[in-house]
Amino acid sequence: MNPTSLIGIITFAPAIFVLYKVMGDYDPYFKHNKAFFMIALGLLVGLIVGLFTFAFPFDIFMVTLAVVILLELIKFVVLLSKPFRLKHDATFYGISMGVGMVPMMLFIYFYFAGLTELHFSTALFMFLISVSYTFVHSSTGAYIGYGCYVGEFWRYFIKAVIISGIHGLMMSFVWGAHFSNIGNYAILIIAVIYSVMVLLHIVFEIIPKTVPKELKQLGTKKV
């Protein structure tokens, strides 16, 4: 398998996992056309952000911080718009947008790294990066979407920025390769564990609260 195809699998596999495993059980409670639109919008944003960061190679810490704020702000502005504001399914569209942003952005990063071949250790390293970013940004999308649903816009936006910022801080050391290979793997594994914990909170605490009880009793789509 050529490196480009493998990079595509590495970057998009975690996103597909989130779509099927996190959103799959709640399929009746959101509109598929809106979800696909948000995924497509996320892909476009990820493409633009990925290319922008390569065109303007700033300090890695500054880039990481800027990307964190920019991505969460874009989610916030979109989900605060009329089609999503104060609607329960905004949470799912936040997840969809986050799921779209990350794989395209990381694909750009990995593709332009100029790797002619991928060894197992490199592929694993890239996969763990993809998992951590996908889980965090789909989760922050859910937080922002839920905040737009319940009317606590700024509270959940700030929470999303903090969660994403903590992850971004950890990843800035990984991107900057400030430590040995073992040190970078250690930080990356911590980032993955952190991302899993954040996603589990979304799955067990936020998503169950995002579907009104009357819709759960009906078991039908009514959005």
Mean pLDDT estimate for the chain: 89
Contact 66, 7 (CB under 8 A): no
- Whether pLDDT at 222 is above 70: no
In degrees, to the nearest 5, what angle opens at C-alpha 209 toward C-alphas 80 and 21? 90
C-alpha closest to that of 164 among 189, 133, 201? 133
Q: What pLDDT shows up at residue 52? A: 84
Q: What is the pLDDT of residues 127-162, one digit of tens each?
A: 999 999 999 999 999 999 999 999 999 999 999 999
Q: Which of 53-62, 99-108, 114-123 has the highest mean pLDDT?
A: 99-108
Measure the CA–CA gap between 52 and 135, rounded to whole angstroms.
Answer: 23
Domain ranges of the chain: 3-211
For the chain, the helix, strand and coil percentages under 3-state DSSP, each to the nearest 5? 80, 0, 20
